[in-house]
Structure 1
């Protein structure tokens, strides 16, 4: 049986092989319909961090809005059609800054709610996703849905036992996509102290980024 890490790797490999994309991400969707526990393919950490800190709430394909559209495969144009023009324009500027020309989301459901997602992004030099490619993603979605239904997630508490209470707080906030500024505000710490905690936490867990940390502790 696949675990979450294996499912993420298989999904990213299969989806980008069938429908080529310059960048991709696999993520879990929490009970509040917030994307978390990202695994990235080809995407720079700086772009992902900027997204989490400044643009995720402007994303027309964020899980909450995808749930309202209620389709398993959702193209960027469909998300933009349901968003106000001001937010759309600002989010388009973010994509343009990173040379992204199109995005599509594939959403799997567990227990009647969105639970897992895959983002596929095409960049400058590639054409937008075509109708036949979206149809191919529908077929892959069925396989993703079946694999997701068999997941048995390991309890995160077992993996957090080696951390201090403060490190566990930080790890759980990182799981929800908190930025350094959000960590500082919620923990009532200065930014330099937050950065020191993160360096120590990364070293203890044996990772080099927050994405790797979340994957190691929670997937």
Structure 2
């Protein structure tokens, strides 16, 4: 995520969290396939995020494409689950419960009728579920986020040459994770992680993880 986009993401996370308190949050860009990418995390730990990307993204009722199908700018977890088969919903709820998350709300911004960015707000047990009046308070901020995004230059497509696994590893590298933490988060052996890193360096023509992160995200 380029510098200006990172600044916008931080501003959005701060503004939304001040208006409606959240335990964890994330800002992300939405690519041409309506997939979330280039995540900017707030109090959301890398292992949880990595497990989501590796094992639970497909079960997420609040993926951008599913939020777009619901047709609302602010979508609650309950609204999303109502559109999923029960088994998928139970799987995703189980993942959230493992991290003490009790509720989620998604805010999707569009430019020229295309989803371009989103904010996830997650609440743990201490804050309880989101209330209807809180969701209403998010709507004006959603409008401001769309206005700000409409003035942003078009973002380049992230990591077009990388496999899904390589994208997961690159995202964890951007967050400063060590090889051991990557292995634990993705449930891989250390030799496998090292092999992926060697392939990544060779594929992108970089010599180390610093150059890789600079090439992909700065």
Q: Which residue of structure 1 lines up, in the alignment, with residue 167 of structure 2?
A: 174
SS for the counterpart of 1:82 is coil
**Equivalent residue pairs, number:** 194
Matches within 5 A, 1:22-171: 22-153=23-154, 169-170=161-162
* 2-structure distance, mates of 1:177, 1:203: 11
**CA offset digits 1:25-47 (Å, max 9, x no partner):** 00011111111010000000000
Gaps of 5+ in 2: 173-181, 184-191, 202-206
8 Å contact from structure 1 (residues 4, 153) kept in 2 = no
Q: Which residue of structure 1 lines up, in the alignment, with residue 22 of structure 2?
A: 21
* 1-structure distance, mates of 2:198, 2:209: 10
Gaps of 5+ in 1: 158-166, 182-189, 206-212
Structure 1 residue 125: deviation in Å? 1.2
Q: Which residue of structure 2 lines up, in the alignment, with residue 217 of structure 1?
A: 216
* 1-structure distance, mates of 2:110, 2:168: 20
* 1-structure distance, mates of 2:131, 2:8: 26
Structure 1 residue 170: deviation in Å? 4.3
8 Å contact from structure 1 (residues 107, 117) kept in 2 = yes
TM-score under structure 2 normalisation?
Answer: 0.78
8 Å contact from structure 1 (residues 52, 177) kept in 2 = no
RMSD over aligned CA atoms reads 3.1
Structure 1 residue 175: deviation in Å? 8.1
SS for the counterpart of 1:3 is helix
